[in-house]
Amino acid sequence: MDSRAHLLERAALNADELPVIAHFGGPAHWMLITTDRIVMGRESGLQSMPWSDLENATTDTAHVHAAFSSGVGGKLSLSRLRLQRRDAEDIEFEVEAGPAFFGLWNVLKTIASLRKE
């Protein structure tokens, strides 16, 4: 099964919901951002969060300091996203470093800012 089919099957999109952007790190490690929610496949199972629950998308300060002090790639070595939820515990998610990380981070930050308007 290809990654697209895997994500769409596992995420079980609603009839009016469309996929927007995805990260596929493997069958048990993926993220799909849809027009309504953020769906994550994790070792512990499926986790879903509506856009309205996303307060912010950031990364851990210690992770940023470690990336910059490593000297290997600087900010391009960032790979850990933190999804801050309005009324629940934050979710951390590991993403491929580089463009994949920054692409997802920018989309998630945009979703959080749209929610506040």
Residue written as tokens 């070792």?
Answer: 43
The stretch 106-114 carries a mean pLDDT of 92
> pLDDT tens, 57-78?
998 766 565 665 666 666 677 8
| CA count, 13 A, side-chain hemisphere, 5 | 2
Global confidence as pTM: 0.83
| Domains contained in the chain, number | 1
CATH classification at residue 95? 2.30.29.30
41: domain range? 3-115
CB 23 within 8 A of CB 76: no
* Cα–Cα distance measured from residue 77 to residue 37, given in angstroms and rounded to the nearest whole number: 27
